[in-house]
Amino acid sequence: MTEYTPPKVWTWDAENGGNWAKTNRPIAGATFDAELPVGKHPLQLYSMGTPNGQKVTIMLEELLALGKTGAEYDAHLIRIGDGDQFSSGFVAINPNSKIPALMDRDTGIRVFESGSILLYLAEKFGAFLPKDLAHRTEVMNWVFWLQGSAPYLGGGFGHFYAYAPEKFEYPINRFTMEAKRQMDVLDRELAKNEYLGGDSYTIADMLTWPWYGNLVLGNAYDAGEFLNVESYTNLRRWAEQILARPAVQRGRIVNRTNGPLNEQLRERHDASDFDTKTQDKIENAGK
Ligand SMILES: N[C@@H](CCC(=O)N[C@@H](CS)C(=O)NCC(=O)O)C(=O)O
């Protein structure tokens, strides 16, 4: 590896390469003025179908499947590769300029950070979060675990294994070790319990599945063989069980802009959009 001696004071080199070089910046705040679109439903979601985005659309589809009609939502696509997260409208609901962000028009409350969004929705609709203190605490243990752990998977392992401009052994080793350790943590937990933190399906599972569920099923970073994902049998059992849920099948495709065209519902404004507005249908209609 080439030696690097950090300068006395770091300066921003916008041309440092890699997939996210154009969007990453060392400063916060809006870079342009633009209002966000607003649809007809109480909940307005501004997101993209990355793992962090999938968490929220899975939760919303699960709430709707339970009959919570107040959870109807418009999912507006924020193209993070194009810098949509730096508009003044987006920054007003998430000063951190990252998807997902939610505006609740019923209450006028803005919600950012996916963990906070799922907790808000669970409390608002009284679902997917146990009420008794012991079980609730165990679920919240996994909620915080996920929010603290996933950046090592995405920003660490995924970044250096799949996105960095070159393959560097040191960070790949370090973050592979950590990603495998995290999968083992989950695997051992799921040997004892059907779901994370107990015997019921909760926001902890919905937050975790898009990251570690996709990873263990071999659907992230093209790293299934490298990580020997087949060996995490309990985690795979859980991941498959969750993937089989109809609400998860719907939620995982909302605001997606990659993958098979029939698994991309780029904007969702109505429940019927799943039948009529996936990208395969839109492109066929245009022919
Ligand atoms: N801790 C945040 C992480 C959100 C996040 O990292 N979002 C990414 C996409 S998965 C993003 O918007 N990146 C755009 C950027 O960094 O400019 C959460 O859980 O909501």
Nearest-CA residue for ligand 1 atom 11 is 98
Q: What is the pLDDT of residue 6?
A: 94
Nearest-CA residue for ligand 1 atom 12 is 98
The pLDDT > 70 percentage for the chain reads 96
Whether pLDDT at 23 is above 90: no
Please indicate whether residue 24 or residue 204 has the higher confidence score (pLDDT).
Answer: 204
CB-based contacts of 177-184 (< 8 A; 24+ apart in sequence): 178/152, 178/153, 179/152, 179/153, 179/215, 179/227, 180/227, 182/149, 182/152, 182/153, 182/212, 183/212, 183/215, 183/216, 183/227, 183/229, 183/232, 183/235, 184/232
Query: Quick one: average pLDDT of 104-126?
Result: 98
Q: What is the pLDDT of residue 82?
A: 94
What is the rounded average pLDDT for all residues in the chain? Answer: 96
Mutate to test the pocket of ligand 1, among 98, 111, 113, 149 (most ligand atoms within 8 A of CB): 98
Would you give the distance in Å from CA 252 to the centre of its chain?
A: 9
Three-state secondary structure call for residue 176: helix
CATH number at 133-246: 1.20.1050.10
Q: What is the pLDDT of residue 76?
A: 98
Query: Quick one: average pLDDT of 61-72?
Result: 98
Domain boundaries, the chain: 133-246
In the numeric block, which tokens belong to residue 196?
Answer: 């994370």
54 lines ligand 1 (CB under 6 A): no
Q: What is the pLDDT of residue 13?
A: 77
Number of the ligand 1 atom closest to the C-alpha atom of 115: 19
Query: Quick one: average pLDDT of 167-171?
Result: 96
Report the predicted TM-score, pTM, of the whole model to 2 decimal places.
Answer: 0.96
Q: What is the pLDDT of residue 21?
A: 64
Instruction: Report the alpha-carbon distance of residue 257 to residue 279 in Å, rounded.
Output: 9
- For tokens 């012991």, name the residue: 134
Whether pLDDT at 259 is above 80: yes
The DSSP 8-state label assigned to residue 161 in this structure reads I
Would you give the distance in Å from CA 27 to the centre of its chain?
A: 23
How far, in Å, from the CA of 113 to the mean position of ligand 1? 8
How far, in Å, from the CA of 21 to the mean position of ligand 1? 15
How far, in Å, from the CA of 51 to the mean position of ligand 1? 9
Q: What is the pLDDT of residue 96?
A: 98
Q: What is the pLDDT of residue 106?
A: 96
